[in-house]
Amino acid sequence: MIPAIDFAAPSRLAPLPPPSRERFARPHVLLTASGEHVHTRDGRQLRLRAIEPGDVAAMQRCFTRLSPEDIRRRFLHAMSELPTPMAQRLCRIDPAVETAFVLMDESVHPAEMRGVGRIYVDDTTRSAEFSVLVEQAWSRRGLGALLMKRLVDDCRRRGLAELWGYVLMENRPMLELCRELGFRTAMLPDEPGIAQITLAL
């Protein structure tokens, strides 16, 4: 049973700044009761839905397909495996303070996780920290941007003031994506090589 997500909830604040090259028009997205059906321009199909506790095995398989570079860019340090307790924790979210969307490839059996985007909310600062990941074989199809847009929508639905994340300065794809979405970038004085990117909502 897939939890209902109010994808259609209107944004309470101003829309995102207009993206260059009409990024969000690229994957075709169709809203259904079971999530969103996403069609990439090159004919691939995915389902975007809320993460579920039963996604642990798919998440661990996804981890094995990541390059060491992708892992470092996502977790900001090297990891050789995704331990089951950590995967369980990542899949069993507390909806009061977390949102996580997955992009599931149901053209294969078992279904494979091709992307994940999540936020952790800090109520005291009315902000949320995000992370996002798209498997390399599925990158450059607008899926990272789609996940980020859903996270921004969710932050606005929650009435938050700011969405932020840490990004390695070498991570040009993510910095470029965030620049196009209107995030501002600041260096961290105590963490050379890491930028904090922030979007005022």
Ligand X SMILES: CC(C)(COP(=O)(O)OP(=O)(O)OC[C@H]1O[C@@H](n2cnc3c(N)ncnc32)[C@H](O)[C@@H]1OP(=O)(O)O)[C@@H](O)C(=O)NCCC(=O)NCCS
Toward ligand X, which CB reaches closer, 10 or 43?
A: 43
Binds ligand X (CB under 6 A): choice among 48, 102, 167, 199: 167
Look at the block and give the residue holding tokens 């999540």.
118
Residues 16-45 interacting with ligand X (rule: CB under 6 A): 21
Window of 53-61, 120-128, 132-140, 184-192 that interacts with ligand X by CB under 6 A: 132-140
Q: Which residues of 139-168 are buried (b: 16+ CB within 10 A; e: fewer)?
A: eebbbbbbbbbbbbbbbbbbebeebbbebb
Q: Is 172 in the site for ligand X (CB under 6 A)?
A: yes
Q: Please provide residue 152's backbone torsions phi and psi, each rounded to the nearest 5 degrees.
A: -60, -45
CB of 133 to ligand X, least distance (A): 4
Count of beta carbons in the 10 Å neighbourhood of residue 61: 13
Q: Which is nearer to ligand X, 52 or 70 (CB)?
A: 70
Judged by CB under 6 A, which stretch of 4-12, 66-74, 84-92, 106-114 contacts ligand X? 66-74
State the greatest distance between any 2 C-alpha atoms of the chain, in Å, as a whole number: 47
Q: Tell me: does residue 141 bind ligand X (CB under 6 A).
A: yes
Q: Is 173 in the site for ligand X (CB under 6 A)?
A: yes
Secondary structure, 3-state, 26-76: CCEEEEECCEEEEECCCCCEEEEEECCHHHHHHHHHHHHCCCHHHHHHHHC
Complex with ligand X: residue 1 or 64, whichever CB lies closer: 64
Of the residues 36, 48, 74, 164, which one makes contact with ligand X according to CB under 6 A:
74
> Which residue minimizes CB distance to ligand X?
144
Nearest approach in angstroms of CB 75 to ligand X is 8
Could you tell me which residues come within 8 angstroms of residue 152 by beta carbon, excluding any fewer than 6 positions away? Answer: 16, 163, 181, 199, 201
Smallest CA-to-CA distance from 51 within 94, 83, 11 is with 94
Residue 189 DSSP code: T
- C-beta closer to ligand X: residue 12 or 179: 179
Task: Tell me the three state secondary structure of residue 140.
Answer: coil
Q: According to the binding rule CB under 6 A, does residue 139 interact with ligand X? A: yes
Chain residues binding ligand X by CB under 6 A are 21, 70, 73-74, 131-134, 139-145, 165, 167, 171-174, 176-177, 180
